[in-house]
Each structure stands twice: as structure tokens, then as C-alpha cells.
Structure 1
Amino acid sequence: MAKERLDKVLAHLGLGSRKEIHRLARAGLVYIDGQLVRDAAFKFDPTLCRIEVNGEEVVYRAFFHLMLHKPAGYITSTGDRDGQPVTALLPEEWQRDDWMPVGRLDKDTEGLLLLTTDGELLHRLTHPRWKVKKRYYAELASPATPADVEAFALGFELDGEPLQPAELSLHADPRKVELVIREGKYHQVKRMFAARGNHVTYLRRIAFGPLALPSDLAIGESRPLEADEERSLYEAVGLPSR
């Protein structure tokens, strides 16, 4: 990795704004490989050096990933132009300017939403070529039928666009279903059922690729991905963990 400025590295790690990091350095609270560094413009390779701030070691990482249990009423965006963004739900210590949502959930849709700072991972997880599965739980205005199961499995056109085969499973009450899709077209789940003459009254994403929505992650809550969860996401799209 090329050498980076101290203020850029520590800001990337969420230790404050560049102005705040300049103050930390001037106060004598930053050590690189055991050496006091007071110049925030100091350049070093953070992947090779030991970083200590205010007496604690800071582990460098290139990318960050979170899972969020999205509630209804929030938009899958990092800006607030069209409503309250999902990033408003994150605690202060996880607020960043470079979060990118992995796929979108409608404003009234709940469930598992991944956030990442890795653009290549985002691209692969959302590109149809990689056929990453997204599983949804839906409640319908009318009962789904075995004919719907067959139609989804065969694939059909949606407004002139061919869809990849999907897996529809009916609960004991056929107005409650689970659906697995491998692409992410605009309002896809709702439009698929509308094409079959039905209407989605409630929708929740319960899994994305190898990750399922944890039962202990309350609605509106978020947490960083664990190391094995990160690895499974990268493996799902043929990337090495980084």
C-alpha cells in the first residue's frame, strides 16, 4: 500500500475529523511504531505500522461493513433529499461519509440491509452476473397458488424485461410466502406479484447472499459484520477478503 497522511488514515478509521486529528497529534497523543508523531501530514504505510492513539492500539482496516435491520419509513440512501436516510439510524461511532447501501429496500420495506465502504464488493453483490440470492418474506392481499410457484420458477417477463427464475415458497397460510430472487430490479418483488394479479401488503428482506437477518438484531438496530460474515460475502462473489 502507498504511504498515506496520518490525518487521512485516522479520519478513515473514524477517529475524528482531520481538524480533530491535527489537535490529537499536536497534543502528543499519536505514536507510529512507538515513535511520537506530532505532524498530521506525516506519511506512512498503515498496513505495516503499529498505530497508537491516546494510549490505545488502533488496528487499520481498508473497508468497513455493517448490517442494519431497516424499519419502514426510511429511505435506502445516505442523503436526506427524499426522506430520512437509513444512515440516520446508525450510532454516532459508526457514522461515516462513505457508506454505500448494498441494493435498495423501498421506504415501506423492512429487513436486512448491508452497508459497505468497498465499491467492488458492492458492485459484485448487486450485479446480476453473480446471481447473489435475496430472500424475502411477504404478506399478500390474496393467497398465492401453486401456479404462481411454477410461473416464478420458470421465469417471465416484467414490463418487457426477462426475469431470472425465482423460488416461491408458500406458508400454511398462502397469503404468507417467501421468495428468493437473484437480481434487484426496481420494486421487483411487488411488481412480480402485481403481474400475477396480487398485491404485497408487507415485505421484509430476511437474507442477502450467505447472511440471514439475525433474530437478535432488533428493528432499527445495526452492528458491524463479524469476520466470518465478511469472508462469506467476499467468497460469494469470488473476491478475497480485504
Structure 2
Amino acid sequence: MDRLDKILVSQNVGSRKEVQKLIKDGAVCVNGECIRQPQHKVNAVADDITVSGQPLLYSKYVYIMMNKPAGVLSASNDKRAETVIDLLPKDFQRPGLFPAGRLDKDTEGLLIITNDGEFAHNMLSPKKHVEKKYIAELDGEITDDMIEKFEQGIVFADGTRCLPGKLEIDSKNPAKTTAVVTICEGKFHQVKKMFAVCGKNVVHLKRISIGNLYLDGNLPIGSCKTLSELDKLSIFMGKMY
């Protein structure tokens, strides 16, 4: 059981002040009864709640796919720069949303935004072996030696060892300067650092998949959509090792 106003705020019906006014104005009903007390306790799952005659379709957690643009921070809030949460349309906004796994500011592509901490942990933990796939444009050609180093596990200058990854040449690029990278970790600037160890710089980086969930090719940069149950399940179907 929870306060009626708190539940309505959690479902993006409005701000706390706006929701309390709706309740006091008689716009909210619970099981057919008009409720005018914001502190009234309800069961969000079992009770029938309507707002201005429209049923409230309650969901505790939300899962959003975003095609992240470059130049935006993967953070919940930042006083100095625009974040991915700032990009969400009003009807996607919810308290407690956060990006599940950061993409560098200048990296584009698939980003999951949610308010489900356990889901995010399972998706990101290296122990779960959920693969993340990237397209990386480099300032030089990919060599067999680089491919072997990725398979063995890149070691950074500070001694940090990455788990084995997979490096492939993008068959669409005859110049051999575009790579498809698959890893199951998310260390800070990991893909860029891995290539730096091999003497190459990343010119452009885009994440295209997490597990078996691929970035929707029809989703414009900066746009987002909610994930279906099948989408969520597909994330844990693609595992390395």
C-alpha cells in the first residue's frame, strides 16, 4: 500500500503539486469511489484507479531503448551538460530513471534507460557474460595481431586485464578500418583503450546491440521507445563463452 499522490507521480501523471490538485478537485477515483485525500493508501496493482475517467495502467518499472546521440552525457542529471534523461519526451519521464550502463559522451547508439536496478545489474555484470557489440571506425587498418590480442584479453598500461573479446573486420569496409567489437564488460572508455593498446585510435564509436537486442534501425538518433517483454528477454539470450 502506498499514498495515492505518490503512485500518480511515479506514473508521470504530473508533479506532486499537480497530482494533489487533481485529487482535491475530484478527478481521481479508486475502485469507483472519488478520493480527495492525497495521502489515501491504495494498492497500485490490485486497485482500479482512474484519472479524469481514464484508467491508470500502473507499471512499477519501465524499460526504454534510446538511440543515443554524440555530445550527450549518459547520466541521470548534470548541472553543466545535457543528459540522456533530458532527451526523454515528457510521456517517458519517471522518477528514478537512469541509464543502464554508460556510453561515452561522444559515443552513439543503443542505450537502455530504466528504473529497475536489478535488471541493470544483470545486464551489466561481467559475470553474466551479456555481450555488447560496437562498430568502431579506426585511423588505421585492423591486423591479425590485433584480433589475437582481443581474443587473449587486452591488458592496459596500469595492469588492468580485460576479459577476452572479439574483433572482426567489417566486411562492408574494404579498407579494413571499420571493426565490429564484442565485449561483455563496460570499463571506462574500454573500447577506445583496447584499440589504443594496439596502436590505433577510435574515430567514431557506436553500440549496436546488447545480447540479442539490436538497435532499432528505424529509431532516429536522439529518439526512444519502450521495450517489449520479448525485447527484455532477448538481452539475456546473447552471451559470450
Same topology, TM > 0.5: yes
- What secondary structure, in the 3-state scheme, does the structure 2 residue paired with 1:148 have? helix
Is this contact kept in 1: 2:132–2:210, CA < 8 A? yes
Other-structure match for 1:174? 176
Aligned-pair RMSD on alpha carbons? 1.6
Q: Which of the residues 41, 44, 47 maps onto 2:42?
A: 44
Task: Tell me, in whole angstroms, the C-alpha distance in 2 between the residues paired with 1:169 and 1:190.
Answer: 15
Runs of 4+ aligned structure 1 residues displaced above 6 Å come to: 234-237
Partner amino acid, structure 2, of 1:178: V
**Per-residue CA distance 1:56-94 (angstroms, 9 max, x = gap):** 111111111111111111111121234211122111222
With over 3 angstroms needed to count, the CA separation of the structure-2 counterparts of 1:208 and 1:233, relative to structure 1, is: closer
1:230-241 equivalence runs, <5 A: 230-233=232-235
Q: Which of the residues 108, 111, 114 maps onto 2:112?
A: 114
Task: Tell me, in whole angstroms, the C-alpha distance in 2 between the residues paired with 1:53 and 1:136.
Answer: 43
Task: Tell me, in whole angstroms, the C-alpha distance in 2 between the residues paired with 1:14 and 1:125.
Answer: 26
Is this contact kept in 1: 2:165–2:184, CA < 8 A? yes
Partner amino acid, structure 1, of 2:23: A
Other-structure match for 1:240? none
Post-superposition shift, 1:108? 0.8
- What secondary structure, in the 3-state scheme, does the structure 2 residue paired with 1:10 have? helix
1:96-175 equivalence runs, <5 A: 96-158=94-156, 159-171=158-170, 172-175=174-177
Other-structure match for 1:33? 31
Identity of aligned residues (%): 37
**Per-residue CA distance 1:222-241 (angstroms, 9 max, x = gap):** 1111232134347779xxxx
Which segment drifts farther, 38-47 or 184-193?
Answer: 38-47
With over 3 angstroms needed to count, the CA separation of the structure-2 counterparts of 1:120 and 1:148, relative to structure 1, is: same
**Per-residue CA distance 1:89-132 (angstroms, 9 max, x = gap):** 11122223411111111111111111010111112212211111
- What secondary structure, in the 3-state scheme, does the structure 1 residue paired with 2:180 have? strand
Partner amino acid, structure 1, of 2:169: L
Give structure 2 stretches of 5+ with no counterpart: none
| TM-score (structure 1 length as normaliser) | 0.92
- What secondary structure, in the 3-state scheme, does the structure 1 residue paired with 2:66 have? strand
With over 3 angstroms needed to count, the CA separation of the structure-2 counterparts of 1:130 and 1:96, relative to structure 1, is: same
Post-superposition shift, 1:155? 1.3
**Per-residue CA distance 1:139-196 (angstroms, 9 max, x = gap):** 0000011221121112132231121110111023310110000001110000000000
Number of residue pairs matched? Answer: 235
Partner amino acid, structure 1, of 2:4: L
Other-structure match for 1:219? 221
Q: Which of the residues 204, 208, 215 maps onto 1:202?
A: 204
Task: Tell me, in whole angstroms, the C-alpha distance in 2 between the residues paired with 1:197 and 1:234.
Answer: 33
Give structure 1 stretches of 5+ with no counterpart: 238-242
Which segment drifts farther, 161-170 or 227-236?
Answer: 227-236
Other-structure match for 2:56? 58
